[in-house]
Amino acid sequence: MNKRMTIQRQIVLDTVKALDHPAANSVYEEVRMKYPHISLGTVYRNLTSLCDDRELLRLTFPNSPDRFDPNLHPHYHLLCRRCGGVSDVDMAYLSEIDRAASEKTGLSIEGHMVCFFGICGQCRDGPDAAVQ
Ligand SMILES: [Zn+2]
Ligand SMILES: [Zn+2]
């Protein structure tokens, strides 16, 4: 396959890097401010192909849209149940549980994903924290 970097693809990638774990919709809103003619379909298509080519990680959460992450190293996330924001959790990746799962199942485990649920720092300390 021809791995040419189209301008649109580069714009989508740069936008994901500039935002913090954005959903496709936020990428689209951001890109559209500079390039009003770009379509949501184009943004989706480029996000998918960037994930297929392992330039971006697709993060899947229950009851929440997929997010995109340029950090390809295995790491953990917190999904804030108040604002829906996704942030990195700064803790060591537990590769020993991959080995344990591999030993238990005999399968070749490639990795695992963990999503913590809770309230992010901004929601906890923000001006609206008392509301709700
Ligand atoms: Zn929050
Ligand atoms: Zn991340």
Question: Which residue segments constitute the domains of the chain, with CATH numbers given?
Answer: 1-72 (1.10.10.10), 73-132 (3.30.1490.190)
Cα distances from 93 to residues 2, 63, 71, in angstroms, run 34, 24, 13
pLDDT for 62: 83
Beta bridge partners of 78: 87, 116
How do residues 46-60 score in pLDDT, each as one tens digit? Answer: 999 999 999 999 999
10-43 residue pLDDT tens = 999 999 999 999 999 999 999 999 999 999 999 9
The SS3 assignment for 121 reads: helix
User: Which pLDDT band, with edges at 50, 70 and 90, does 4 fall under?
Assistant: low
Q: How far is CA 56 from the centre of its chain?
A: 8
Minimum-distance ligand to the CA of 87? 2
Going from the Cα of 57 to the center of ligand 2, the distance in angstroms, rounded, reads: 8
Q: How far is CA 124 from the centre of its chain?
A: 22
Report d(CA 12, CA 42) in Å as an integer.
9
For residue 80, give the ligand nearest its CA. 1
What average pLDDT is seen over the chain?
91
Please give the pLDDT value at position 1.
46
Name the closest ligand to CA 22.
Answer: 2
- Across 70-77, average pLDDT: 94
**Chain segment 84-104, per-residue pLDDT in tens:** 999 999 999 999 999 999 999
Q: Could you say which ligand is closest to the alpha carbon of residue 56?
A: 2
**What's the CA-to-centroid distance between 45 and ligand 2, angstroms?**
21
pLDDT of residue 127: 72
Residue 109 has pLDDT above 90, yes or no: yes
Residues 6+ apart with CB under 8 A from 80: 86, 87, 118, 119, 120, 122, 123
CA distances 56 to 82, 93, 121, Å, are 26, 19, 25
What is the arithmetic mean of pLDDT over 79-84? 93
Q: How much distance in Å is there from the Cα of 69 to the middle of ligand 2? A: 5
